[in-house]
Amino acid sequence: MIIWSVSGIAIKHALAVLPPFTMIVMRFVPAVLLMLIIGIVRRKHSLFCLQRMDLKDLPLFLIAGTCQPFLYYLLETFTYDALNSPTIAETLLSTSPLLSPLFAAIILRERVTKYNIIGILISTGGVFALTLIGATDYSIGNSWGILLAFAAVSAAVVDSIMMRKAPLKYSALSFVFYTQLISLMYFIPIWLWREGPSVFDNAQWTMDNGQFTTALWCVAYLSVFASVVAFILFCYALRKIGVTQANAFNNIRPAFTALWMFLFFGEHLPAGKWIGMILIIFGLFVCQKQEKVSDC
């Protein structure tokens, strides 16, 4: 989550130079190739080996790859476009921990404890405080944006469900590799249609103003750390502690993003936002608390 908390900052800098689908393709092509190389080299390491996909498991990977990154990225973009306030959009897109217990209980029959629910509610309250305090624009805009936001969050949660349902014979790297490869197969035709290779002929790319170099460093970060390292770690953790508890940690992402903006970009953090961060962390501790099992 700490790695992903920097992703929004990196995406913002990359999009200052690169068109959106060009940035996405530049991000995921190296990520998929890197995982392929690692999987070939580290065949005997359980976390980083790359197994062949059984055809009977193809539907699971297709659902996961379609949901995230593909659908989530598209729905997230349309959400920001439909809603007037980025603050409202960010708040709505941070609600995956609220939906996770419902999806996990219905689809996986995963046990959801009272501590999970209480902790998630406390932590989500902290997210609302963190994103809404100090905001100046609370207008909704197109009401369809709300539905798009929850559709994006649902896609992310379904991807988590597929991670949990994937047979344990597949390593974390294998699951991430196949889902991102499938997503890339969706993204490339859209890139060719909307932007195409001619985008590289744009004159602004040749300007030696440092922006393009910064954008490349940002894409490299997104490719190696956000798309490979963070996804593999999250997949491994989710299999160990379950969908509800793993997704609860999504609440800490905006807290770290706000902290990085404060430390490195001088963004002001009022007292209310610090309180929001404390609530997020406290809620996460409560969410991870185990219920005592009474003796029979």
pLDDT, tens digit, 9 for 90 and up, residues 70-98? 999 888 888 877 877 666 777 788 888 88
Q: Please, are residues 31 and 228 in contact by the beta-carbon 8 Å criterion?
A: yes
Structure token digits, residue 105: 């209980």
Q: Residue 252 pLDDT more than 60? A: yes
Give me 129's structure tokens.
């405080």
Q: Could you tell me the pLDDT band of residue 61, with boundaries at 50, 70 and 90? A: very high
Of 254 and 162, the structure prediction assigns the larger pLDDT to 162
> Do the Cβ atoms of 270 and 113 come closer than 8 Å?
no
Task: Show the beta-strand stretches assigned E in the chain.
Answer: none
CA–CA dist 201, 205 (Å, integer): 8
86: left (phi over 0), alpha (psi -120 to 50) or beta: alpha
How much of the chain, in percent, has pLDDT values that exceed 90? 32
Provide mean pLDDT across the span 111-120.
87
pLDDT averaged over the chain?
A: 84
Residue 67: its pLDDT value, please? 95
The full DSSP string for 126-159 is HHHHHHHTT------BSTHHHHHHHHHHHHHHHH
- Confidence (pLDDT) at 26: 92
At residue 203, does pLDDT exceed 80?
no
**pLDDT attached to residue 41:** 86
Q: Is the pLDDT of residue 215 over 80?
A: yes
For residue 141, pLDDT over 80 is answered with: no
Instruction: State the sign of the Cα–Cα–Cα–Cα dihedral 269, 272, 273, 275.
Output: positive
The pLDDT-based confidence of 202 (bands split at 50, 70, 90) is low
pLDDT band with cut points at 50, 70 and 90 for residue 296: very low
Position 294 scores a pLDDT of: 47
Percent of the chain whose predicted confidence (pLDDT) is above 70 = 89
Per-residue pLDDT at 182: 96
Is pLDDT larger for residue 214 or for residue 203? Answer: 214
Mean pLDDT on 1-30: 88
Whole-prediction pTM: 0.86
Q: What is the mean pLDDT of residues 30-41?
A: 93
Q: How far apart are the C-alpha atoms of 249 and 234, rounded to whole Å?
A: 10
Average pLDDT score over residue span 140-165? 86
Q: Is the dihedral of CA 196, 202, 208, 214 positive or negative?
A: negative
Average pLDDT in the 251-280 region? 83
The residues, any chain, with a CB within 8 Å of residue 259's CB and separated by 6 or more, are: 277
